Amino acid sequence: MSDENKAAIEKCVSVAQGDTGGSSAMRKILLSMYNAAKWPLDVSEFRRLDAENARVAHMLLTRFMSNKLGDEIHTFIQNGESIFGGFWDTEEHDAMYRCTNDYSGEVRWNNYGREAMIYRFGVQSVEAFEAQLKEHAQA
């Protein structure tokens, strides 16, 4: 792996480990490279990054898509599986929160849409998903 690719991955992971809107955007971009079926990329996430981080993330995504990295994204960093698992857990929790109204159980669908949320949380129907949300809100 080139030094430039390694530096880009390290920069993106470092940003993703933060606690800002840009960090969340970077986690979603990295998760789309980690498991696109579960984390489809919403390109508007790039708008949540500052110019330099957007440039680095775009370069990394371009190299990933053209298969120039040569391996799975998480394998290039130490403890990558654990780090990306943490990103997954954080964003999944945030997605659950965003589709409820202050954990009241009142369903408010976010920009993922019903089908994507149902797929992401592995339930079989809208009704089952809404029941899961209400149970989560009461916890």
Q: Check whether residue 58 and residue 1 sit in a common domain.
A: yes
Per-residue pLDDT band for 123 (boundaries 50, 70, 90) equals: low
Q: Are residues 47 and 7 in the same domain?
A: yes
DSSP state of 108: -
Does 57 share its domain with 106?
Answer: no
Q: Are residues 62 and 118 in the same domain?
A: no
Which amino acid would we find at residue 73? I
Tokens 């993922």 correspond to 112
Length of the chain: 139
- Total-model pTM: 0.68
Query: Between residues 128 and 98, which one has the greater pLDDT?
Result: 128
φ/ψ of residue 14, rounded to 5: -60, -45
Name the residue with higher pLDDT: 94 or 72: 72
Q: State the Cα–Cα distance between residues 71 and 5, nearest whole angstrom.
A: 12
> How many Cβ atoms sit within 10 Å of the Cβ of residue 70?
11
**Is there a domain that residue 94 lies in?**
no
* Number of domains, the chain: 2
Q: Work out the pLDDT band at 93, boundaries 50, 70, 90.
A: low
Pick the range with the lowest mean pLDDT from 26-30, 75-79, 133-137.
133-137
Average pLDDT over residues 40-52: 91
Residue 90 — pLDDT band, cuts 50, 70, 90? confident
The pLDDT, as a whole number, for residue 36 is 82
User: In this structure, is residue 109 part of a structural domain?
Assistant: yes
Residues 46 and 103: their CA atoms lie apart, in Å, by 28
Q: Is residue 17 part of a domain?
A: yes
> Do 7 and 43 lie in a common domain?
yes
Nearest Cα to Cα of residue 130 among 139, 112, 117: 117
Please write the tens of the pLDDT for every residue from 53-77.
999 999 988 888 777 666 788 877 8
Range(s) of the domain holding residue 61: 1-86
- The reported pLDDT for the residue numbered 137 is 65
Do 75 and 126 sit in the same domain of this protein? no
Assess if residue 91 is contained within a domain. no
